[in-house]
Chain A
Amino acid sequence: MTILLTPVARLGRAVLAAMGSVGRVALFFFSALGHIFRPPYYPRELLLAMLNIGWLSLPVVGLTAMFTGGALALQIYSGGARFNAESVVPQIVAIGMVRELGPVMAGLMIAARVTSSIAAEIATMKVTEQIDALVTLSTNPMKYLTVPRLLAGLITVPLLVGVGDVIGIAGGYFVATENLGFNAAAYLKNTMDFLESLDVISSLVKGCVFGGIATLMGCYYGMHSGRGAQGVGQATKSSVEAAAVLILAANFLITGAFFSV
Chain B
Amino acid sequence: MIRLENVHKSFGNNHVLRGLTLEVPKGTSMVIIGGSGTGKSVALKCVLGLVTPDSGQILVDGKDATKGDRDAFLARFGMLFQGGALFDSMSVWQNVAFRLLRGSLKRPAAEAREIAIEKLRRVGLKPEVADLFPAELSGGMQKRVGLARAIAAEPEIIFFDEPTTGLDPIMSGVINELIREIVVEMGATAMTITHDMTSVRAIADNVAMLHDGVIKWTGPVAEMDHSGDPYLDQFIHGRAEGPIEAVR
Contact = CB atoms under 8 A, between A and B. Distances in A.
A138 B103 contact: yes
Contact of A136 (B79, B88, B102, B104): B79
Contact of A135 (B74, B102, B104): B74
A132 interface: yes
Contacts, number: 48
Interface in A113-168: 125, 128-130, 132-139
A136 B103 contact: no
Contact of A133 (B75, B87, B102, B103): B87
Contacts of B104: 138
Nearest to A125: B87
Contacts of B103: 40, 138-139
Nearest to B99: A137
Contacts of A136: 48, 50, 74, 77-79
B74 A129 contact: no
A134 B78 CA distance: 11
A137 B98 contact: yes
How many B residues are at the interface, by size bracket? Answer: 20 to 34
Nearest to A41: B102
Given A42-B102, A135-B48, A136-B78, 13 more contacts: A129-B81, A129-B82, A129-B83, A129-B85, A130-B87, A130-B88, A132-B45, A133-B87, A136-B48, A137-B74, A138-B74, A138-B103, A139-B102
Interface of B: 45, 48-50, 71, 74-75, 77-79, 81-83, 85-88, 98-99, 102-104, 149
24 contacts: A40-B102, A42-B102, A128-B85, A129-B81, A129-B82, A130-B85, A130-B86, A130-B88, A132-B81, A132-B85, A133-B81, A133-B85, A133-B86, A134-B87, A135-B48, A136-B50, A136-B74, A136-B77, A137-B98, A137-B99, A138-B103, A138-B104, A139-B98, A139-B103
